[in-house]
Amino acid sequence: MENNYAQDYGKCNFCGAPKVKSPKTGKVFCSEKCWLKGKPDSYTPAQTKEVQIEKFQENKGESMRLFSSGRDATLIVTTFYKDGTYTDEQIKAFIEMWKDYYYNKIYVNKPF
């Protein structure tokens, strides 16, 4: 049986408890099951605002990571593969290869 606490699934946005993965459904949920204790609207406006800001910052960082990977891949391909010997499909493949490299190797866990 898999230990659901072995992998870090983050923390609950409302109570801060660690999240776990259900062995039955595979879904990730709050280990304290805070949703059973009260409705999300029972949280104070400050807590709700804090959660919204946290989600926005996560989305912003991910967007910047994705954009930066695409930008840098395009710059590399237009610089090194500009001699005209490659087809459009090959150029697209090079861009995807470099974008994947930057996204998964270079910009992982980088603060933006």
Express each pLDDT in 20-79 by its tens digit: 888 877 888 888 877 677 655 556 777 778 878 888 877 888 888 899 999 999 999 999
Considering the domain architecture, whether residues 55 and 101 belong to the same structural domain is answered as yes
Considering the domain architecture, whether residues 52 and 99 belong to the same structural domain is answered as yes
3 lies in some domain: yes
The reported pLDDT for the residue numbered 41 is 55
Structural domain count of the chain: 2
What's the per-residue H, E or C state across the chain? CCCCCCCCCCECCCCCCEEEECCCCCCEEECCCHHHHCCHHHCCHHHHHHHHHHHHHHHHHHHHHHHHHHHHHHHHHHHHCCCCCCCHHHHHHHHHHHHHHHHHHHCCCCCC
Q: How confident is the model over 78-99, as pLDDT tens digits? A: 999 888 889 999 999 999 999 9
111 lies in some domain: no
The reported pLDDT for the residue numbered 39 is 56
Considering the domain architecture, whether residues 17 and 71 belong to the same structural domain is answered as no
The reported pLDDT for the residue numbered 77 is 94
Range of the domain at 81: 44-106
14 lies in some domain: yes
The reported pLDDT for the residue numbered 5 is 47
Considering the domain architecture, whether residues 25 and 61 belong to the same structural domain is answered as no
